[in-house]
Amino acid sequence: MRDFFQPGRSVTYGLNGAAAASSVHASQVALGILKSGGNAMDAAIAACAVQCVVDPMQTGIGGDCFALVAMGGGSQVEGLNGSGKAPGALTADYLLSKGVNKMDATSAHSITIPGAIDAWVRLHEKYGSMDFADILKPAIDCAENGYVVTDRTSVDWQMGVAKLQKNEAASEIFLKNGKPPAAGTTWRMPKLAATLKVIAKNGRAAFYEGDIAEQMTETLKAAGGLHEASDFAETGADFVAPIHSEYHGHTVHQIPPNGQGITALIMLNILKRLDMNGLDPLGAKRLHLEAEAARLAYLARNKYVADPMKADVPVDMLLSNEFAEHLCGFIEVGKAGDPTGANALERHRDTVYLTVVDKDRNAVSFINSLFQGFGSGIACAKTGVLFQNRGFGFVVDPDHPNCIAPGKRPMHTIIPGMVTKDGKATMSYGVMGGGYQPVGHAHVLMNVWDYGMDVQEALDCPRAFYDAGVLDVEKSIPASVRQELADMGYQLRDPDVPLGGGQIIAIDPETGVLSAGSEPRKDGCALAY
C-alpha cells in the first residue's frame, strides 16, 4: 500500500468494469462504453480510436495494432497480430541497388501498410457487441469538434516539430504557424474526422479500397515509395496462438514473433533463476541483474526474431529451459557484461497501451502504435492519415532472418501482455515505449511478484533501461545506487523523458475485485465502477 505522506496515486478498485489508458480522454470513453452496455472489446477499440486523435505522435490509424484477449475470465488467451507488411515490390536488392544498406526512419521505404483498422474490424467482428459506427463516434467527435491537449502530450508534440516541418501535409495537420499546440489548447483534425466517418459507415473496405486507399497510395508514391493499391487491399491481421512462460506460478502470455514479446519471456526465464526475491527493488543488484537479463535477451531477439511466415524463428528453443540456463552462464554478478550487439533498436517514448476488463471478466490487452514519434513524419494531405515507420525495424542484409522482403512483417516492438493462473485470467497489462517494452514488462511483473507491490506501486517504481552498454537511469534512482552501477562498468545516462508508460488491471479470482493502475509518467488514468 502506498505511503500517503508521499505524492502518488492510489489503486483504482471496481467490481463491474475497469479501464486504464495513457489518456484521460480515452479512459473516460472506455468506461462510458462499459456503463452503456458495451463489452471490453468495444471499449478498447473506442478508447484506442480516441487516442489516435488526441495523441497523434503516439498512435494513429496509419499504424499497427496487437491484442491479447481472455474471454469470461478464463485462462484461454487468444492473440491478434495486426502488424502491416512491406510493399510487394520492395526488396533488399532494390534498396542495395540504390545505395541503401540501412533503413531510414523517415523514408517512404520504412512505411509498412497500416494494419490497425483491419485489426480493429477483425477484433470487433469476433468479440465486439456494439455497432462499429457507434464505437468510433467519440473519436470522430474529438477530431471534428476538438479536444484539449494535455501536458505530457504537449511535450511529446514539441519533440516532433522538426520531423513534422519536413513534410508539408504533416505541418498543415499538426502545426499552426509552424508551432505545436501548448497544453490547454483546443485542437481539431477535420480531415481525420472525415476519414473516420467514412470508415464508421463502410468499415474496413473504406480504408483499404477505394478513394482513401488511392489517396494514400498516391502520397506514398510521391514520397518515393513502391506501395500499390493492391498492397492495401491485401492487408489482413492474423489471429495467433500466444506464446508463454512461467514465473513464480504465473503464466505470462505474449504475441509470438514477429513481435518482441518473446524478449520479455526470455528475460523472465533468466531472472527466475537468479533469486531476485528479497533484493532491494531499487538496489544496484536488482537493476544490475535486470540489465544483464536484458542484454542477453536483446542479443537473442536481434539474432532470431523475424516474421515466421518468411523466416525460421526457433521459438521453442528460445523459450527452453536449456537456453535460459545457457544465457545465465554469461552473467557475472557485480560486473557489466559485453554489450556487443545488444541494441534495443530504439530509445523512444511513443505508442499507446490500454487495457479494459468488463463485468463478465472479458479482459483485453490492447496496443496501437506509429513506432517513433509521429511515425515516418509523412502524412496524406487529403485523408489526414499519418503513416507509421515500422519498416525501420527491418535490416537490409539478405542473410539475416529479419531482412526486408515483399509482403514481410518487420521485427515489431509493441507487445500487449496477459497473465493467467489456475485456470483464470489474473492480470491484463502492458508497458509501452519502443525497445524498452520487454524490460518494462519484466520490471512491473517482478515488482508485483517479487517485491509485493500493488499494481499502482509497480508502475510508479523507478526504472532503468539497458541498451548496448548504456544504462538509462531515471532521476529517482538514488545517487548511491547510480555509483554502484557505474562501478560495475555501466555507462549511465539520464533519459530525456521518463522511461515507458504502462497500464495494469488485476483480477482477484476469489473476490472478483478489479484493481487498476495507470502510468504516472503519462497523462492518463485508471477508472472503474
3-state SS, 26-53, equals HHHHHHHHHHCCCCHHHHHHHHHHHHHH
Task: Please tell me the predicted confidence (pLDDT) of residue 339.
Answer: 84
Known catalytic membership, residue 413 = no
In whole angstroms, give the CA distance from residue 154 to residue 141. 20
In whole angstroms, give the CA distance from residue 361 to residue 364. 9
Task: Please tell me the predicted confidence (pLDDT) of residue 190.
Answer: 98
Task: Please tell me the predicted confidence (pLDDT) of residue 345.
Answer: 61
Length of the chain, in residues = 529
Q: How would you class 257 by CB atoms within 10 Å of its CB: exposed for 0-12, middle for 13-18, buried for 19 or more?
A: buried
Catalytic residue among 251, 351, 355, 383: 351
Q: How would you class 278 by CB atoms within 10 Å of its CB: exposed for 0-12, middle for 13-18, buried for 19 or more?
A: exposed
Task: Please tell me the predicted confidence (pLDDT) of residue 272.
Answer: 96
Number of alpha carbons in the 13 Å side-chain half-sphere of residue 288: 23
179: number of Cβ within 10 Å: 10
**In one letter, which amino acid is 511?**
T
In whole angstroms, give the CA distance from residue 287 to residue 197. 48
In whole angstroms, give the CA distance from residue 97 to residue 75. 50
Tens place of pLDDT for every residue, the chain, 529 residues? 778 888 888 999 999 999 999 999 999 999 999 999 999 999 999 999 999 999 999 999 999 999 999 999 999 999 999 999 999 999 999 999 999 999 999 999 999 999 999 999 999 999 999 999 999 999 999 999 999 999 999 999 999 999 999 999 999 999 999 999 999 999 999 999 999 999 999 999 999 999 999 999 999 999 999 999 999 999 999 999 999 999 999 999 999 999 999 999 999 999 999 989 889 999 999 999 999 999 999 999 999 999 999 999 999 999 999 999 999 999 999 999 988 877 766 555 568 999 999 999 999 999 999 999 999 999 999 999 999 999 999 999 999 999 999 999 999 999 999 999 999 999 999 999 888 999 999 999 999 999 999 999 999 999 999 988 899 999 999 999 999 999 999 999 999 889 999 999 999 999 999 999 999 999 999 999 9
In whole angstroms, give the CA distance from residue 432 to residue 440. 8
Could you report how far apart the first and last alpha carbons of the chain are, in Å? 20
Q: Give the pTM.
A: 0.96
Residue among 446, 484, 494 at smallest CA distance from 335: 484
Cell numbers for 385: 492519415
**What pairing do the DSSP bridges indicate for beta strands 147-148 and 186-187?**
antiparallel
Task: Please tell me the predicted confidence (pLDDT) of residue 435.
Answer: 87
Cell numbers for 433: 515505449
